[in-house]
Amino acid sequence: MPLAEAAAALQPVLGKAFATGQGVWYRQRDGTEIEAKVESVDLTVDPPSYGVLLHGRSDARETIAERLRPREPANGSGSAANGGGPQAAAAAAAARGSERQTGTD
């Protein structure tokens, strides 16, 4: 079974699954996001580990699914060509965070 199929099959169990070669946003410690690409997937550990190559850097970083989210397709509203990119991703993440705080007035 190809890795992409395995990841899709595990998604209901894991909540999130990413495949090798998939474009993602990687959330850094300070909360900003940077464009990345999944280079490796290790499903033998719990939680699964993802090796990601950060845009503009030569070193890969190991991380977990909670720090990743899928990138929009190149023709999607989140693409750099349409004014998206890390800044737009950070703004979207901040908006999602504020949505979770409803009822805390």
pLDDT digits (tens, 9 = 90+) for 75-86: 544 434 334 444
What pTM did the predictor assign? 0.56
pLDDT digits (tens, 9 = 90+) for 3-24: 656 655 554 444 578 999 999 9
Q: Which residues contact 9 (CB under 8 A, 6 or more apart)?
A: 1
User: What does residue 76 show for φ and ψ, rounded to 5 degrees?
Assistant: -80, 170
